[in-house]
Structure 1
Amino acid sequence: MNTSATTISGVGAVTGYGWGRDRLWSGLTSGKSCASLHPGFGTSLDDPGWVARIPDDGDSADGKTRFSRAMRWSAREAIHDAMARGWTPGPRVGLISAVVLGDLDMFPMIVPGTAASFTGREYVSVTPSTPVSLLMQEFGFHGPAMSVSAMCTSGIGAVITAKIWLDSGMADDVIVVATDLSATPEVVRMFVQLGVAITDVDFLDSCRPFQQGSRGFGFGEASVAFTMTNRPSAGYGRVLGGSMSHDAFHATSVDPTLTQVTACVDAALASAGVGGADIRYLNAHGPGTAQCDAAEGAIARTRTPNAEVFSVKPLAGHCQAAAGAVELAATLLGHQHGGLPAPPQVADPAFPAVLNGSAPMEHGLTLKTSLGMGGHNAAVVIGPMS
């Protein structure tokens, strides 16, 4: 990857904290999770459980489904934010949509025997390509547009792909939007059965990355968008470099040798032209599972010896396709506000570098890591604007 810096000039967000990046920031800095009890997410369909679903809001003109409304709303907020900061779209603005399951409201239409219940117009309204196409149409963007999917690394993978487009000259600017609204009882229950999702207590009680007693993650939803450009622009931060890899080891588990995880981090640092000792913060994937704690703990000890470590999953939840984007937004908004929204510790940390609650953000580089189920790895280096 080219080591030229890419500016993230706009941010938009819809999360369990509400609609808008300001809601995300105030929620993260409150030190309280956005989880609440919802019926059907407990041990049975009759019991409530703790999840973080985005409020059913937005503009009805953006579509019938929460997915389409959240996706277009967050992207529009990022675009308007960048324009307010002086960004002028170039002739080739591309769009990358990061997804995993996509719009679950579309699934009943493809169940055998149900097609006659829906019109062609209804089907088109919820296909994953439709919100993308309508957004391109709304702003008159004509660059490349596509979706990427790499489990929990999808959001960071989309940011890295956008930088590749910009560095290669394929696009003048790129909108990245990562959307996941898959917190349904059926989906969450599958992750509970896998032993990684916890719904019986609030996120801060269950998800304790790099701390004793962590049981796994709480399930969240989000749509987060960024406006990215290599042209001069005011912004939140700069993408200096990144890398992606795959363990090719197991359908759910991290390769315990960590060969590909550490290689991905090394490649990201090299592409950014920095060393591990230059990293001030490690913004971890941090879902609070034993495998990920071990992997990212090893990164902290062997690759980023001077970095303080945090994960916002105990606050925002694990937002699957949008997870990395929510966590990257925490760093970018931290640059703007001069603070780091780390969650409070609730147990003894595994090593001293783990942050305990919000703290002033010092000038320096952040390494953002993402580890996706099935062996997907991604890492990106973020720097302040100056």
Structure 2
Amino acid sequence: MSPAETAVAVTGLGLVTSYGYGVDRFWNGLLSGRPAIGPANRFAGTEGEAVGEVPDPPGGVATRRAYTDAVVAQALADAGYRGVPDGALVLVVGQTPDVVGPGRVTSSDMVGPPPSAVAGVRLAGGAPYFLTHACASAAFAVGLARELMAGGVADVALVVGATVLNATEYASMRAVRAVSPDRARPFDRSRDGITLGEGAGALVLETVARAAGRDARHDVEVAGVGCRVSGAKAAASDQEVVTGCLDEALADAGTDRVDYAQAHATGTVQGDAVELAALETIAGRSGDAAVPVSSHKGATGHLLHASCFPAIVAATLALRTRLLPPTPGLLDPEPTERLRLMRHPEPAPRARHALVVSAGFGGNNAALALARR
């Protein structure tokens, strides 16, 4: 495929995190370096660990539907749409129970309904696509949307997903000893596990031609994608696979330049180490001396299958504002050779290329290369 065929811009962003509702709250909170995680107020599944709860959910109950509808409305408004455009692709990612509360969790709860905002809208393909690739789900969905748009299926897509804190997934993370007894500290030498969070994200993606034709903002492009499903290891800790995804995304984007990397970096000892090694390899090949790297998960917790939405927002805004966000909670960074693990915001007036890394259990790994046009 030629660059013209794959030119897809990010025209709309929507986000709900423990910082609150809206992209601006997330971005300002991230730049402040103040984590939005703490003792659970609504969720009863912890044993004293910190979590990233969304403040004041509608009706006091956290639901995927409420979070999904909120971010869809935000992203469409940001893109300049009053509703989901006819003929759009809609890709939904998820694996979390729809409602947190008493009662039995069923398989339909785990899948959850499609966003109510698309009801009655004519969709490309006739129905929403549903994807689940563990914690890399949202990145895989962006990659699929880009491929389908390059193939002429549609010229606009909505990618959306949500997660709520729930006993099922919390127990599964505790079972594999992934949860920090304190709080996540990505890339810190004293890190000891993840902090689980909740929230949602939505992206409006459009071909550059469509966006330009309606005078919509199209300054950041999904320039490259690398996705791999490798069954060699159950955990998201295969350095060769992660490096391969980064290589593929950069090659797809036609560059070896990395001005910023928004890392997956959950705060586990092994996972963070593997990701650092993969990024070091990429930096070494390109000759970069100090690639800036940070992660949002010390701020909001890990949103599991929806975790790539805050990462994409952070990388997109970093390129738009030319300001790179830090890793909240990072006090004692791991030593690195060609990377700079950021503890404070940094201006980056010439930043044009950013990597977003997303990794998941079961060998699900992905990388997105974003480029400022």
Scaled by the length of structure 2, the TM-score of the pair is 0.86
| Partner Cα distance (2:226, 2:317) in 1 | 23
Match of 2:304 in 1: 320
Amino acid in structure 1 at the alignment position of 2:94: V
| Partner Cα distance (1:127, 1:193) in 2 | 19
The answer to whether structure 1 residue 293 and structure 2 residue 275 are counterparts is no
Match of 1:119 in 2: none
| Distance verdict in 2 for CA 1:10–1:148, change over 3 Å | same
Equivalent of 2:138 in 136, 147, 155: 155
Match of 1:188 in 2: 170
TM-superposed CA distance for 1:377, in Å, is 0.7
| Distance verdict in 2 for CA 1:95–1:110, change over 3 Å | same
| Partner Cα distance (2:63, 2:8) in 1 | 31
| Partner Cα distance (1:147, 1:2) in 2 | 27
Amino acid in structure 1 at the alignment position of 2:142: V
Gaps of 5+ in 1: 113-122
**Deviation string for 1:223-261 (max 9, x for gaps)?**
011100002231451100102112212333533xx3322
Instruction: State the SS of the aligned residue for 1:142.
Output: coil
Equivalent of 1:94 in 60, 71, 89: 89
The answer to whether structure 1 residue 7 and structure 2 residue 9 are counterparts is yes
Match of 1:118 in 2: none
Equivalent of 1:83 in 80, 84, 90: 80
Match of 1:38 in 2: 40
Pairs aligned (count): 352
Check conservation: 1:41, 1:188, Cα contact below 8 A. yes
**Deviation string for 1:66-106 (max 9, x for gaps)?**
2101011101110111017xx99764111101112352559
The answer to whether structure 1 residue 169 and structure 2 residue 152 are counterparts is yes
Amino acid in structure 1 at the alignment position of 2:270: Q
TM-superposed CA distance for 1:2, in Å, is 5.3
**Deviation string for 1:98-145 (max 9, x for gaps)?**
112352559946669xxxxxxxxxx8xx6846343x32126x342231
Check conservation: 1:243, 1:264, Cα contact below 8 A. yes
TM-superposed CA distance for 1:65, in Å, is 6.0
TM-superposed CA distance for 1:58, in Å, is 4.2
TM-superposed CA distance for 1:331, in Å, is 1.4
TM-superposed CA distance for 1:19, in Å, is 1.1
Q: 1:90-239, aligned counterparts within 5 Å?
A: 91-105=86-100, 108=103, 128=111, 130-132=113-115, 134-137=116-119, 140-144=121-125, 145-181=128-164, 183-198=165-180, 200-201=181-182, 203=183, 207-230=184-207, 231=210, 232=212, 233-235=216-218, 237-239=220-222
Amino acid in structure 2 at the alignment position of 1:18: G
The answer to whether structure 1 residue 346 and structure 2 residue 331 are counterparts is yes
Check conservation: 2:10, 2:218, Cα contact below 8 A. yes
Equivalent of 1:356 in 343, 352, 361: 343
| Partner Cα distance (2:83, 2:348) in 1 | 29
| Partner Cα distance (2:236, 2:355) in 1 | 23
Instruction: State the SS of the aligned residue for 2:197.
Output: coil
| Distance verdict in 2 for CA 1:162–1:197, change over 3 Å | same
| Distance verdict in 2 for CA 1:358–1:186, change over 3 Å | same
**Deviation string for 1:325-357 (max 9, x for gaps)?**
111111112234332221253114321521122
| Partner Cα distance (1:357, 1:168) in 2 | 41
Scaled by the length of structure 1, the TM-score of the pair is 0.83
| Partner Cα distance (2:250, 2:231) in 1 | 22
| 361-370 or 318-327, larger mean C-alpha shift | 361-370
Over the aligned positions, Cα root-mean-square deviation in angstroms equals 2.7
| Distance verdict in 2 for CA 1:108–1:252, change over 3 Å | farther
| Distance verdict in 2 for CA 1:110–1:322, change over 3 Å | closer
Instruction: State the SS of the aligned residue for 2:259.
Output: strand
| Distance verdict in 2 for CA 1:348–1:36, change over 3 Å | closer
TM-superposed CA distance for 1:187, in Å, is 2.8
Match of 2:232 in 1: 249
Check conservation: 1:311, 1:327, Cα contact below 8 A. yes
Amino acid in structure 2 at the alignment position of 1:379: A
Query: Percent same amino acid at aligned positions?
Result: 24
Instruction: State the SS of the aligned residue for 1:279.
Output: coil
The answer to whether structure 1 residue 311 and structure 2 residue 295 are counterparts is yes
TM-superposed CA distance for 1:379, in Å, is 0.6
